Amino acid sequence: MRSLINISDFSVAEIDELIACAHEMIAHPEKYQDSAKNKILATLFYEPSTRTRLSFEAAMYGLGGHVISVPSASNSSATKGETIADTLAVMSNYADIVAMRHPHDGAALVATNAAHVPVINAGDGGHFHPTQTLADMLTIEREFGRLENLTIVAVGDLLYGRTVHSLLHAMMRYPGNRFIMVSPEELRLPRDFVAHVQLAGIDIIETTSLTSALPHADVIYMTRVQQERFDDPHEYERLKGAYELDAQTMTHASDTSIVMHPLPRVGEIAPDIDSDPRARYFEQTYNGKMMRMALIHRLLREAAEASQSQTRHEISESQETKFYRCSNPRCVTKYERGLALRIRGAEPQCTYCDYPVTVI
């Protein structure tokens, strides 16, 4: 069963097909208005969300389908201690497809392994957010007519910002893209991630200076400091106002650049930028709905085609498996009971959240 946990689950060719499908849906929505008829999407959001949940729901209605949903995390059985795996096993009997958001890194993989229907990761902790990336990619493609040879300046909380992690994973697979990562020292990208990008021969620069990065940008990707991932509230208070884009700062950026933000913004972009012709953050939300339509359409079609042949993200047994402890305190392995914590060979990374592990 095909799911979307990480943007790398889709090849470049498949992402390009999703973008082409979204264009087709924008041009001819009536052709798709019954494509998910009698199908049910379950939205399981264990973290606050306004636009992402409603975007999934609007997408499903746009395809003629139905939606079931828990009103909020506090109303769900998770508060009684139910595991993610049990919840997804049950949901598979109610819905044809599930979109899940969860505060723990790696929760989406747990869900996928337990479900019998496609699961879409709508954000797992500070790890990944692949459907935001699909929204971002359609926005970039509609603007520049391409997804390659672009300079992307990502700004803000690059440590916990899952939207940047997924965007980087996706855009580094298109040739000629360059990345300038602007953050306070404390909120730099995870070190292993930077090493992985550099190893792939990608041009990536890290800096604390927004104004020095702006003149190079095609895409200025602003992000919020992720308050909910901080253990120390004082640390959040100290870092939250690190970067603000306003009319004055934007004089450093070129006329052909665009400003993006996954939203919600909490001070990273001054309201005076809303009337700047380079602002694209509200278009991003429309593009997100269209890409989620294209994604749901595709996953339902593939599920129908391959209903017998299971190609789940199995964690396969092997003679050389080793058990491990993950170094990430927010990893789902710290919370979910009964998970397979095995790595194969010498690969010292957590299967669920990609952090370094200690083999035990």
205 bridge partner residues: 180
Q: How far apart are CA 238 and CA 121, in angstroms?
A: 31
Residue 162 beta carbon to ligand NCD: minimum distance, rounded to whole angstroms: 5
Q: How far apart are CA 214 and CA 276, in angstroms?
A: 15
Cβ closest to ligand NCD, residue 51 vs residue 344: 51
Residue 241 beta carbon to ligand NCD: minimum distance, rounded to whole angstroms: 15
Query: Does residue 43 bind ligand NCD (CB under 6 A)?
Result: no
Judged by CB under 6 A, the residue of 43, 163, 328, 351 near ligand NCD is: 163
Query: Does residue 51 bind ligand NCD (CB under 6 A)?
Result: yes
What does the per-residue mask of binding to ligand NCD show for 213-232, with x meaning CB under 6 A?
----------xx--------
Query: Does residue 52 bind ligand NCD (CB under 6 A)?
Result: yes
Q: Say if residue 337 carries a ligand binding annotation.
A: no
Residue 323 beta carbon to ligand NCD: minimum distance, rounded to whole angstroms: 31
3-state secondary structure 286-321: HHHHHHHHHHHHHHHHHHHHCCCCCCCCCCCCCCCC
Judged by CB under 6 A, the residue of 168, 181, 260, 263 near ligand NCD is: 263
Q: Say if residue 264 carries a ligand binding annotation.
A: yes
Q: Say if residue 333 carries a ligand binding annotation.
A: no
Task: State which of positions 70-129 bind ligand NCD (CB under 6 A).
Answer: 123, 129
Catalytic residues: 51-52, 80, 101, 129
Residue 350 beta carbon to ligand NCD: minimum distance, rounded to whole angstroms: 20
Residue 260 beta carbon to ligand NCD: minimum distance, rounded to whole angstroms: 11
Q: Say if residue 162 carries a ligand binding annotation.
A: yes
Judged by CB under 6 A, the residue of 6, 113, 132, 351 near ligand NCD is: 132
Q: Say if residue 132 carries a ligand binding annotation.
A: yes
- Binding residues vs ligand NCD (CB under 6 A): 51-52, 123, 129, 132, 162-163, 223-224, 262-263
Residues belonging to the binding site are: 51-52, 80, 101, 129, 132, 162, 224, 263-264
Residues belonging to the binding site for L-aspartate are: 80, 162, 224
Residues belonging to the binding site for carbamoyl phosphate are: 51-52, 101, 129, 132, 263-264
